[in-house]
Amino acid sequence: MKIKLKYFIVGFIILLSSFVLSTNVIKTDPKTNLTEVILDSSIVEEPTIVLERYPGIETKKVNHKLDSLLKRINKRHDFHGSILVAKKGKLIYQNQIGFADFRKKTKLNKESIFQLASVSKQFTAAAIMILKERNQLKLTDTITTYFPKFPYKNITIKQLLNHTSGLPNYFWVAENEWKKNHPPSNLEMMTFLIKSSTASLFFRPGRRFDYSNTGYFVLASILEEISNESYSNFLETNIFKPLQMHNSYAYSFKKDTIRKNQLIGYRLYRGWRHRTIPSTVNDAVVGDKNIYATSEDLLKWMNGLNSGKLISKESLELMFTKGKTRYGRVFPYGFGFRIKNDENKVYHYGKWNGFSTGITQYQDEELVVIILEHTSYRSLDYLNKQIKNIVDKSFGS
C-alpha cells in the first residue's frame, strides 16, 4: 500500500511539473547552470473590478428621493425595472422595483438581466473601433470590401456607424419575404438581402441621416467576417471579459440558451394583466439589438469606455462627435450615441419586445444615468430628466 502511494505522489509531482513547464518559460543560466521558471503573465488574472460607492452620508438624501420616485412610477406607470446613477464612475444610487416574472411573482433584483434593445448599438460601434485601432479595417472601407456580392454599392463603414447609408429596413424584408421556419441569422440575412430584388436604397449614401437598424446588423456581420468569429464571442473576448461584465452577452433567438436571470418582455393588457411579448422573425439578428446586461455591468461599460481601457481617447471622441452628411449638414448622432449639446450629454434609448432601456452620460457633471425596464414603459426621456433634476438638487447638498 505504501509503495502504491509513493508511486502516486511521484506521478502527481511529475504531472504538476509538466503543467508548470508547459505554461511558463524555462530559463537556464549557462554560467551557474541554475534553472529559473518565469511565470507566464497571460495566466495571471487581473484584479477584480469593484464598483466604488459614495459614502451613505452623502447619498442619503438623494437615495430617499429616488426611492420615492421609483415607487411612484411603479404604481402609476407600471414601471418594472432598474435605475442606477453614478458620478465620476462611483455609485450614487442603485435600486429596482417590480416583478421579473409575473406568473411566478418573482421580483427583480440586482442580477436581473435586461435586453438592451438599441443601446446594443454602442457595443457594435466600439467593437468596430477596436478593429480600426488594430488596423483590420478603415472607416472608409465599403461593405463590398468584405461582401463583394452585396447589392448596395459605395456605402462606407462610417456611413453605417452614423446612419447615413440609406439601406432598406431589414425588418420589413424578413417579415415579408423570409419563408423559412426559423429566424435568420446575420449571415443568412446578408445572403438574403443579396438575393432580394424588392428592397431598394432609401437615398444615395451620405446624403442624409436616417436611423437604420440595418446598418448596425451589417456592421456586426462585417465584424464577424474580419475576426472570423461570432459577434457574441468577439464581444465576450474584447469587451465583456476585460471589463468583467460577467452578466452581459449577445443573445440570438432559437440559437442560444436562455440564461439564469434573463428577463422576457411584457405589455399591459386591459390595464391590469401582463402578457409576454412573443419573439419575432427578427430576433436572431444581432448588432442592432439583442445584447443583454445588468445595470451594474452597464456602469462598468461606461467606466471602461471613459478610462481608455477598451479604445483610445481619439476613438471615443469620434463616437461622441456629431455626424455630417456629404453636403456638410450636421446631425446629432455619432457612432452608437446620440448627442445633445445644450445639455452636453451623450445618450441612447432603446425599445424592443417590451424592453425600454436608456443610458445617458452628462459630460460636464460626469454623471451617468442607466434605466432598464421590461413592461413597455413609455416615458424614458421624462424619467431621465426627473432623475437628473433630483440628483442636481439633492446630491452633496
Q: Are 243 and 49 in contact (CB under 8 A)?
A: yes
Q: Of residues 83 and 9, which shows the higher confidence score?
A: 83
Q: For residue 362, what is its C-alpha cell?
A: 452628462
Whether the Cβ atoms of residue 246 and residue 45 lie closer than 8 Å to each other: no
| 50 located within any domain | no
Q: Name residues whose C-beta falls within 8 Å of residue 162's C-beta, 6 or more positions apart in sequence.
A: 209, 323, 331, 333, 334, 335
Q: What angle do CA 169, 324, 172 make, to 5 degrees?
A: 5
Report whether 92 contacts 125 (CB < 8 A).
no
H helix runs in the chain, sequence order? 2-23, 56-77, 121-133, 143-146, 157-161, 170-177, 186-195, 213-227, 231-235, 295-307, 313-319, 380-394
What are the pLDDT digits (tens) for 331-361?
999 999 999 988 899 999 999 999 999 999 9
pLDDT of residue 12: 47
Instruction: Give yes or no: residues 32 and 131 share one domain.
Output: no
Pair (138, 23) in one structural domain: no
Is residue 287 one of the residues assigned to a domain?
yes
The residue that leads in pLDDT, 351 or 195, is 351
Same domain, 39 and 63: no
Q: Answer whether residue 9 is part of any domain.
A: yes
- The DSSP secondary-structure symbol of 47 reads P
Check residue 48 and report its DSSP letter.
Answer: P
Within this chain, do residues 13 and 93 fall inside the same structural domain, yes or no? no
Residues 315-327 have pLDDT tens digits of 999 999 999 999 9
- Same-domain status, 6 and 104: no
Strand partners, 293: 114
Asked if residue 366 belongs to a domain, the reply is yes
For residues 250 and 284, membership in a common domain is answered with yes
State how many domains the chain has: 2
Mean pLDDT of 19-43: 44
Burial string for 342-369 (b: 16+ CB within 10 Å, else e) reads eeebbbbbbbbbbbbbbbbbbeeeebbb
Share of the chain above pLDDT 70, in %: 88
State the residue range of the domain holding 174.
Answer: 56-394
Same domain, 223 and 138: yes
Residues 106 and 99: their CA atoms lie apart, in Å, by 6
228 pLDDT higher than 50: yes
Alpha-carbon Rg for the chain, nearest whole angstrom, is 25
Quick one: 145 and 111 in the same domain? Answer: yes
Do 202 and 70 lie in a common domain?
Answer: yes
Does residue 153 share a domain with residue 13? no
pTM: 0.88
Q: What single-letter DSSP state applies at residue 240?
A: I
Evaluate whether residue 121 is within a structural domain: yes
Residues 6 or more apart whose CB falls under 8 angstroms from that of 52 comprise 89, 90, 91
From the number of C-beta atoms within 10 Å of its C-beta (0-12, 13-18, 19+), residue 247 rates as buried
Q: Return the CATH number at 81.
A: 3.40.710.10
Residue 248 lies in a domain: yes
130 and 207, same structural domain? yes
Q: Alpha-carbon distance 159 to 211, whole Å?
A: 11
Question: 51 in a domain, yes or no?
Answer: no
Contact in structure between 193 and 173 (CB atoms under 8 Å): yes
Q: What is the mean pLDDT of residues 237-244?
A: 98
Residue 20 binned pLDDT confidence (cut-offs 50, 70, 90): very low
Q: Which helix or strand (DSSP H or E) is residue 87 part of?
A: strand 81-87
In angstroms, how far apart are the furthest CA atoms of the chain?
87
Predicted confidence band of residue 197 (pLDDT cuts 50, 70, 90): low
Residue 239 sits in the same domain as residue 299: yes
Query: Which pLDDT value is given to residue 38?
Result: 43
Nearest to 131 by CA among 7, 224, 62: 224
Residue 49, in any domain of the structure: no
CB distance 350 to 357 below 8 Å: yes
Residue with cell 442606477: 84
